Every structure is written in C-alpha cells, then in structure tokens.
Amino acid sequence: MSHITAPQSVALTAKLRQTLGQIRPAHVVVTLVLFIGAWLMIFPYIWMVSSSLKPAAEVYDADFSIIPKTFAGVKNYSDVLFGQPYPRFMLNSLIVCVGILAVQLLTAVPAAYALAKFRFRGSAILLGTVIACLTIPINVTSIPIYLGLVKVGLLDTYMSMMFPFFVSVFAIFLFRQFFRGFPDSIIDAARVDGMTEIEIVLRLILPAALPAIAAFSVFSFVSHWNDLYWPLIVVQSQDKMTATLSMMQYQSEFDTNYGRSFAAATVVTIPMLLVFLFARRAFIRGITMSGVKG
Amino acid sequence: MARLTLSDIHKSFGSTEVLKGISLDVANGEFLSLVGSSGCGKSTLLRIISGLETPDRGTIEIDGKAMTALAPKARGVAMVFQDYALYPHMTVAQNMAMPLIMARLPFHARLPGMKWLTPHLAPLRAEMAGQVEQVAQQLHIDHLLERRPAQLSGGQRQRVALGRALVRNPTLFLMDEPLSNLDAKLRVKVRTEIVDLHRASGLTFVYVTHDQVEAMTMSDRVALLQAGTLLQVAPPATLYAEPQSIDVAKFIGSPEINLLPVCAEPEGLRLGATLLPLSHGFKPGTDLIVGLRPEALRLSAPGLAQLRPAEGPELQLDMVQASIEDLGSEIVVHGAVAALPDIALRIRAQKSLQSGVHKIALPERLSLHAPMATAVIFDINGKRLDPQSVARRQEALA
C-alpha cells in the first residue's frame, strides 16, 4: 500500500465507504439465500466429480475429503470411456432425443395452432384436457404403455424408448400460449392472400415462434437425455442402451464400484452441461415463458 | 371491377345477433362506406364480404356469381386491415409479392428453397417482381422494398398494406378502418390518397369506418349501420339533408342536430309556450320531434349585426347561452331554450358574420332564429315523416 499516495488513499476510502453505504440488509439476506441455494445445487455435483476420482473403497470413507487421498481418476474414466461401447451409448441417446424432439414438434405445433386460433366445438374441453394431462406423471401411464409395447413386440427398440414421449402436452400448452399472442389480423390477411392453414403455420407462425421452439427443444433434449426411468424399463440389450442408462451397469446387488459409477455420471452429464451453457437463455425462457416446469 | 350484392345477411355470435338481415347493392366502381359506432356489426359485414366469416343466412354475389360458400382467396377480393397486418419477418417486397405468389405459383414451388429447383418458373417470378416494383412506384414506396415492417413509419406501413392489396388486381377492395392508427394530420393526407387511388383504379371500394368525416368526404354512398341493421344508404349530401330517422340525423353532422320535442295543435306545433309556424296538418295532440341543423340557426342580440330577413316562416326563440367554442373560422354556441332549460341547443355560425368581433363575447340572453324550411320532422318513434306527405298535408291545409 506504500505506493498509494495520500489523496488516492482518501479517494479509495471514500469509494469504499460509498460502496458499503449502498449495501442494504435486504441485499445481504438475498445474497445469502442465493448462495445457500447455489451451494445446495452445486455441492452434489462437486461431490460426484470428487468421488469419480476416488477408488471404490474411499467413496464410503467416513473421513470425507474433496481431494481424493488415492487418485483413481485415470482408471475410473478409462473404464467408462474404453471398457464399454461408450460412443454407442452416446449415439443411442442422441438418436432417442432427436427422434423424440422431431415428433414432438411435428405433433405439438399444429395442435397448438388449432387450440390457439380456431373456434370449434369442444375446443375449450380439448384445451382443458391438455392442461389436465400436464398433471399426469409418466409413472401412471408407464405400466399400460409397457404392456402394450410387450404385446406388439416392440420392447428393446428405439421406438419403444421414444414412443411414450411423442406427444408432449407441455409443448402443446407452451406453443399455444405463444401462438395466441400472434395477431389474428395477420392470419386473416394471409387467408385473403390465399395461404392455406398449413402455409400460415409454416410461413408466418413458425418464424415468429422460433424462440419458443428453441426453448422447448433445449428443454426436451435435456430432460430425455437425463431420463433414466423409461430406458431402464424397456431396454435390455447393451446396444440399445442410452448413456444415462449405461451408468447402471456398474451397479450390482453385491458389489458396486461407486468410483466408476460417479465417473460415468460425470461423463454423461458433460454434454448436457455444455448444452446448458450455450443455450442457457433459451432454457431459462422455456421455463419462465409459461410459468410451468415440465 | 365488380358489382357486389348482399341479400338478407344474418350473423350471430353465440346468442348475440350481430347482423339482422342486411341487403345492400354496391355498383361497379363505387366507393361505399359502412359507418356506425363500434359494435354495430360493420366489421363483421366486411369480414363476411371477404369470406373470413360465413353468414348464418343470406347470400353474397360478386358480378352475379354466388360467393357465399367460397374461401377468401377464391373471391378475388383484397383487404386492408386496421393494424396493416403486414408479415413481420418479411421485407416490403416479399409482403407485396405474397398474394401474387399464392395465386400464380403451384404449391411445390412456394416451398422454401424451391426458387433454385424450379428454374422454369424464373420468368414468372421476374414478372411478379416487376409488378411489385410498379405498384411500389405508384405508391412512392419503391425505395423501401428491402426494409422490414418494423423499420417503417405508420404511414409507410399503411402504404405497403395498400400495395399488397393492389398488386393482385382485385375485383373488390375492402378496407377495415385503415386510417384509425394514423395521427390526425397523416390521416387527412392518406384520405385523399385513397380517394385518388379509387379514382385512378376504378375499382369497387367498400370502406369501413366509425368516423363520419371519413365517410362523408370519401364516399359515393354511405351505408349507416346500427345494431345490426342498415338505417339508411344514400349519398353523403342526402344522408345529411334528408335523414330517414332520428338515429341517422344524430349520427351524421357535428355538432349534433338540435332536436325539439313538440306537440301538434290545429294552428301549429307547440314547443313549450311558443307556437312553431308550421301547420303540417298533423293530428292535434300528436307528439313530434323537430330537427334543426346547428348551422341553420341564426343568432341575434343587441350589439350584433342585423340579420337579413329570412325567407319563409321563421321560428324565434329566447335562448340562454351556456358556452362558446371558438374554432377559428367558426364558433359553436351551446345553450338552452329559455322556456325549456333541459333542451340543449347547438348553434354553428361563421365567424366573419360577427363583423370584426375577434374575442367572442356574446350576451347571455340571445334571440334564436330558425328558418322552418330546413326543419326535418320525426314521429315520436324517431321515423322521418315523409317530406312529400308533409308538403301535401300543408297544401291541403292551405
């Protein structure tokens, strides 16, 4: 501090005082709450990364430390990446996520347009049904869908992994809210100009709805990438396994190598972490746009 | 070029009957305004003509061809919307070309990217671009062709909307309050532009507005709509001078027409203690309403210029002045008949008649002169009493 001259130091103190003067108790509380919230979110992730670097025995060590005592990272990660057909799992995940998203958009956009812009008998009931379906968890429908897939012999196929998610009521609802804001007079003008309803959707509604579609795409992609429940039920063979499901391989009743499991979990979440970092804005908008978390 | 015939159009939304049997003929090349206060059904009628709504009952014919069941695009009509309804993510050129693309290109050629896959359609595309260019020049927007609607001012957007409607050579030009989103000065300018456009194109125009000034200044004929029924269809001057009902008389003209409730007596019409010098031979005891336009009334007071003697019978009333609106070229005096204080009166006078009085200072008590030749008489239900029959009765009485 010796090189700071007296007037400079006075100015610095004044600035510091000014900064401190702007801090209000409410801000302190908000920051504290946010900090605790962020810590609660991020700590399990740190724990996971830390454990993925430890040998199995150390994961359950009562004497917990973030830094592994014995570094087993290389072994754990090479087991995950090279000890199994890992690229295959990633490809499976990609096929399933892209397939689901494509059909979801194909079904949701026309349905949402009809619900947003057409007056027809029963439209209110249909919309009510859509909203009611938002409340049905997958666990309720999974048994009938599973039995159906067994009957038609589709178990252990990509189709069986994607089928239950082809129609997203969340997407229908989200797009419907978004389309409703589109001016009716522009649609009327398009009809007078000679556009068919399909062309109205393709030429006018879709370009205007790109933010909503981007937001939903990120949302859908992330949630199906992370889905463990459904692939676990319908997939049996290793060549149909998704990346998320592949983590389960290291679990057995007697001996689970938790170090390797955590390494697998880390590797599986990295693509989603990247997606989130790049599409953070779209993702947040997807959740806030309709006030619903799907 | 088209003649439009509407017969007995009915339309209900839920339990509300919006149109209650509208029959209307619009001649080829005519400029017809549909006027009425908001909610009277004028926009719905326009949407029915365009095909965006279907009537519950009744038929629409254009040039004698039944259009009732046809989709908008099959009717050959163009429509301009109140909020312009431009396609937001397309350029002005793309906006204006859209009706042509839809009418001339087959479906597969309209899909994105097909421009390069259908080279045999290139001459057609060039021709359409030329048409867009030509209409843009006509409307003085050719320098804006590459802009998007968001980059344009209100007046420019309005012109693009007009251009988009014009480019397809419509048979019928429909406009739904196209000026109401413009500011007052621009509105007057675009108003004359639309009239010029009508004259130059010779097309049939149906123009919806709630603004009586627009209707009166622009149209060949005005159709006044109220609560789903047509009150009167007539040229603006006729509508003003010969209203068929009190509702028409009240809607057209600003300030509003003066309405005096009178009672028929053998020797004339009684208004309070005054006897109006009108012996129309009405049955004694009948209640009637006499309508007098504000500019037909004249004022006299001590200190004001002498009035020229009136031709024909004249009513003279004592009046109490309430307020004066000075509009520069003219003044509007609000007041009441002295004997009947709850009857509001509006008098419009040219300011030059005030003989050099710049600051208007009228005495509170005035004398009102109303030439009875300009009076319109309605029965108590608001229906105009036929001027001919009134005249005949007057003759019979004489």
Average pLDDT over residues B145-174: 91
What is the H or E stretch that residue A20 is in? helix A6-22
Q: CA B96 to CA B104: how far, in whole Å?
A: 14
Of A183, A194, A203, the CB nearest to B103: A194
DSSP string, A112-154: HHHHHH---TTHHHHHHHHHHHTT--HHHHHHHHHHHHHHTT-
Q: Which residue of B has its CA nearest to A194?
A: B73
3-state secondary structure A146-184: HHHHHHCCCCCCHHHHHHHHCCCHHHHHHHHHHHHCCCH
- Interface mutation vs chain A, best among B43, B89, B176, most A CBs within 10 Å: B89
Higher pLDDT, A21 or A212: A212
Supply the DSSP symbol for A3. T
Tokens 């000890």 belong to which residue? A83
Give the per-residue pLDDT at A1. Answer: 44
Measured between beta carbons, the chain B residues lying within 8 angstroms of A195 are: 73, 98, 102
- What are the residue ranges spanned by the domains of chain A? 6-75, 78-291
**pLDDT tens per residue across span A105-140:** 999 999 999 999 998 888 899 999 988 988 888 888
Q: Are B119 and B187 in contact (CB under 8 A)?
A: no
B228-235: long-range pairs with CB below 8 Å, 24+: B228/B17, B228/B18, B228/B19, B228/B20, B228/B22, B228/B40, B228/B41, B229/B20, B229/B21, B229/B22, B230/B22, B230/B23, B230/B24, B233/B24
For domain A78-291, the CATH class is mainly alpha
Percentage of chain A lying above the pLDDT 70 cut? 92
Give the per-residue pLDDT at A71. Answer: 86
**pLDDT tens per residue across span B187-196:** 888 899 899 9
Answer whether residue B118 shows pLDDT above 90. Answer: no
Per-chain mean pLDDT for chain A:
86
**Token output for A22:** 């702007």
With cut-offs at 50, 70 and 90, classify the pLDDT of residue A9: confident
With cut-offs at 50, 70 and 90, classify the pLDDT of residue A293: very low
Contact A193 B47 (CB under 8 A): no
**pLDDT tens per residue across span B44-59:** 999 999 999 999 999 9
Answer whether residue B363 shows pLDDT above 90. Answer: no
Minimal CA separation from A189 to chain B, in Å: 6
List residues of B whose CB lies inside 8 A of any A CB.
47, 50-52, 71-73, 77-79, 81-83, 85-89, 98-99, 102-103, 110, 164, 168
Of A183, A185, A194, the CB nearest to B102: A194
With cut-offs at 50, 70 and 90, classify the pLDDT of residue B355: low
**Token output for A233:** 């039920």
Contact B51 A195 (CB under 8 A): no
Minimal CA separation from B189 to chain A, in Å: 24
- Residue (of B237, B344, B347, B216) closest to B293 by Cα position: B347
Fold of the B254-396 domain: OB fold (Dihydrolipoamide Acetyltransferase, E2P) (2.40.50)
Contact A193 B73 (CB under 8 A): yes
Higher pLDDT, A233 or B115: A233
Residue A74: burial class (beta carbons within 10 Å; 0-12, 13-18, 19+): exposed
Measured between beta carbons, the chain B residues lying within 8 angstroms of A188 are: 47, 52, 79, 81, 85
Average pLDDT over residues A27-41: 93
3-state secondary structure chain B: CCCEEEEEEEEEECCEEEEEEEEEEECCCCEEEEECCCCCCHHHHHHHHHCCCCCCEEEEEECCEECCCCCHHHHCEEEECCCCCCCCCCCHHHHHHHHHHHHHCCHHHHCCCCCCCCHHHHHHHHHHHHHHHHHHHHCCCHHHCCCCHHHCCHHHHHHHHHHHHHCCCCCEEEEECCCCCCCHHHHHHHHHHHHHHHHHHCCEEEEEECCHHHHHHHCCEEEEEECCEEEEEECHHHHHHCCCEHHHHHHCCCCCCEEEEEEEECCEEEECCEEECCCCCCCCCCEEEEEECHHHCEEECCCCCCCCCCCCCEEEEEEEEEEEEECCCEEEEEEEECCCCCCEEEEEEEHHHHCCCCCCCCCCEEEEEEEHHHCEEEECCCEECCHHHHHHHHHHHC
Of A185, A194, A208, the CB nearest to B81: A185
Give the per-residue pLDDT at A294. Answer: 39
Of A183, A192, A203, the CB nearest to B77: A192
Give the per-residue pLDDT at B45. Answer: 95
Answer whether residue A18 shows pLDDT above 50. Answer: yes
**pLDDT tens per residue across span B244-286:** 999 999 999 888 888 888 888 887 788 877 777 766 667 888 8
- ipTM field: 0.82
Per-chain mean pLDDT for chain B:
85
Average pLDDT over residues B75-89: 92
Contact B79 A188 (CB under 8 A): yes
Residue B150's CB: how many other CB atoms inside 10 A? Answer: 9
Answer whether residue B358 shows pLDDT above 70. Answer: no
Give the per-residue pLDDT at B98. Answer: 92
CATH number of B4-245: 3.40.50.300
Average pLDDT over residues B69-90: 91
- What are the residue ranges spanned by the domains of chain B? 4-245, 254-396
Answer whether residue A286 shows pLDDT above 70. Answer: no
